Amino acid sequence: MSSPTSSNKRHRVVITGFGALTNIGHNAADTWEAMKSGKSGITTIDSDDFKQYEGWTVTIGGQVRDWSPDAVIDKREAKRMDRVSLLGLFAAQEAVDHSGFDFSSGDPERQGIVMGSGIGGISTIETSVQAMVSKGPSRISPFTVPKLMANAVTGNISIRFNLQGPASTHATACASSGHAIGDAMEAIRLGRADVRLAGGSEAALTPLCLGAFMTMKALSTRNDAPEKASRPFDTGRDGFVLSEGAAVYVLESEEHAKARGATIYAELSGAANSCDAGHITAPHPQGRGAGHAMRWALEDAGLQPDDIDYINAHGTSTPLGDKAEIIAVKTVFGDHATKGGVNGGLVMNSTKSMHGHCLGASGAVELIACINAVREGIVAPTINLDNIDPECAGVDIVANVAREMPVRRAMNNTFGFGGHNVSLIVSRYEG
C-alpha cells in the first residue's frame, strides 16, 4: 500500500457525499426532509416472516418499505447478499454518485472503507437454521457464510468501487457506525488514505431479533399507535422501536477534495469512543462512559463545550438510557447545557423519535441530521415529546416542531450494548 503522505501533518477531513436508505426516505435528501417535517416511519410490521409465528407482544417496527435494490444491484448478484448488504450497497452508491468522484480515476490503494453493523446478516442465519432443521444440513446454501458475516457489507462495497486501501468493519452494537466513521476520519487525518467510504447498515428487523429484544422487554409495546411509540425523553416512553436502514458517507482529505473541485458539505472535526465497563446492556447510571466520549471528542476537535450548538442524542426512548445521557450532557457541558438555545446555549434532539432505532446503523443515519443542521441552520424535532420526564428536564430539547437557528457545530452520540460509546463532531465547513 502507498505510504502516508506525511507522518506529522494532521489533515482536515471533509464530507463530500452521502447516501441513505431508511424507513422515512429512500435517499438522503428525502430522509432529511422527513426529519425536518417530523414524519414517523414506524408502522405495524407487514411481513410473512412474522405471520408464521404467534405470541407477539410487539408488532411494530421501522421497515424500509416499497423498495427494491434492482436499480443498483443485478438480481443474480443480489441473491448472494443478505438484506444488510443490499441496504448498505444501495446507500453507498448514492453517496458515491452524490460526491461526484470517479473512484476508477484515483489510486485504489489510497481509497478505503469502514462500515459498521451491530448484527450483520441475521436474516440469513434464521433462514439457514430453518433449512437445516426442516430439510437437513445438505440443504444449507453455500452462500450462507458470505451472506451472514458482519464484514460482508464492507466487502461488497469495496468490490463495487475497487477500494484497496484501509478497510475494516466495526461490530460494537449500536455504536458500530459511529466507530466506523471515526476510524475512517482518523486514517485520512494521518495521511493513510485520501478517500474513505464510511457508515453503517442494519437489517435486523427479523423474527429472531425482534423476539429477542421483546423478551428482554426493551421494546415499546405501543402497538395501537405505532407513530407515537418512539418518544425519547417523554414520561410515557416504554422502550425503543426496532428499525432497519443504512447510511454511507464519502470522506476525503481537504486537499484531495479541493484538488478535484468537490462540493464540501461539512467538516468532520472530532471523534472519540469509550467503554462504560459496567453492565453488558444497561448504561452507566451517571452516564460515565458517555461523558468520556463527549469530552474526548471535544478535545480531539480542539473545542470547548460552548463551541457545540446542537447534540443529536442517542435518545433511544428507554427509561434508563435517556436519563443517563441527559446526566452526562449536563456534566460535560455545564451551564452551556442548561441555559437553552435561545440564550446561546445547547439544544438537543433525537431523530429516533421518527425513524426508530437502527441499531448499528444509528450513528450513520443520524449524522444526516447533523450535516444538514450546520448547512441549513435547522434542527429537526423530537416528535412525541408531550411531557418531558422531570429527570430529563433542564436541557433545551427541540420538541415536535423543527427549529431554525445558527448551528456552527453539531455532536452526534451513539451508545451501544457492551458499554460502547461514540461521539462525533461535525462542523460547518469554512475553507
| pLDDT, tens digit, 9 for 90 and up, residues 91-133 | 999 999 999 999 999 999 999 999 999 999 999 999 999 999 9
What is the pLDDT at residue 4?
Answer: 42
Q: Residue with C-alpha cell 467538516?
A: 267
How far apart are the C-alpha atoms of 245 and 153, rounded to whole Å? 13
User: Distance between CA atoms of 265 and 269, rounded to whole angstroms?
Assistant: 13
Distance of alpha carbon 76 from alpha carbon 132, whole angstroms = 23
Which DSSP string do the residues of 10-77 spell out, in sequence order?
A: ---EEEEEEEEEBTTBSSHHHHHHHHHHT----EE---HHHHT----S--EEB---S--GGGTS-HHH
Once rounded to an integer, what is the mean pLDDT over residues 378-398? Answer: 98
Residues in the chain, total: 431
Predicted pLDDT of residue 112: 98
Q: Taking residues 268-291, what's their average pLDDT?
A: 97
Evaluate if residue 1 carries a pLDDT over 50: no
- Residue 346 inside a domain? The answer is yes
Annotation says 358 is catalytic: no
Domain interval for residue 375: 270-427
- Evaluate if residue 396 carries a pLDDT over 70: yes
378 and 239 in one domain? Answer: no
Task: Specify the pLDDT at position 5.
Answer: 45
> 188 and 305: one domain?
no
Instruction: Kindly state whether residues 102 and 210 are assigned to the same domain.
Output: yes
pLDDT at 6: 44
What is the average pLDDT across 204-210? 98
Choose the catalytic residue: 26, 174, 292, 358: 174
* The pLDDT of residue 18: 98
Q: Is residue 2 part of a domain?
A: no
**How many Cβ atoms are within 10 Å of 401's Cβ, its own excluded?**
12
Residues 318, 254 share a domain = no
Whether 212 and 277 map to the same domain: the answer is no
The reply to whether 284 belongs to the active site is no
Is 412 contained in some domain? yes
The model carries a pTM of: 0.96
Looking at every residue in the chain, the average pLDDT score rounds to 96
Total tally of structural domains belonging to the chain: 2
Same domain as 376, residue 346: yes
Query: Is 7's pLDDT higher than 70?
Result: no
pLDDT band at 9 (very low <50, low <70, confident <90, very high): confident
User: Of 241, 271, 186, whose CA–CA distance to 61 is shortest?
Assistant: 241
Q: Does some domain include residue 344?
A: yes
Residue 3 lies in a domain: no
pLDDT at 2 over 60: no
Last residue of a domain, one of 236, 259, 282: 259
Query: Cell numbers at residue 356, please?
Result: 426508530
Give the active site residue among 357, 358, 392, 420. 357
| Residue 102 domain flag | yes
Same domain assignment for residues 155 and 35: yes
pLDDT band at 79 (very low <50, low <70, confident <90, very high): very high
Question: Are 232 and 324 part of one and the same domain?
Answer: no
* Same-domain pairing of 39 and 77: yes
Which among 91, 92, 95 is positioned nearest to 26, based on CA atoms? 91
Domain boundary among 259, 288, 310: 259
Residue 264 lies in a domain: no
240 and 363: one domain?
A: no
Judge contact between 35 and 380, C-beta under 8 A. Answer: yes
CA angle 281, 350, 23 (to 5 degrees): 90
Query: Which residue among 240, 259, 278 closes a domain?
Result: 259
Chain segment 135-145, per-residue pLDDT in tens: 999 999 999 99
- Candidates 161, 122, 174, 163; CA nearest to 144 is 122
Catalytic residue, candidates 98, 284, 314, 355:
314
Q: What is the pLDDT of residue 342?
A: 84
Residues 329, 190 share a domain: no
Q: Side-chain half-sphere of 36: how many Cα atoms within 13 Å? A: 15
Query: Does 336 participate in catalysis according to the annotation?
Result: no
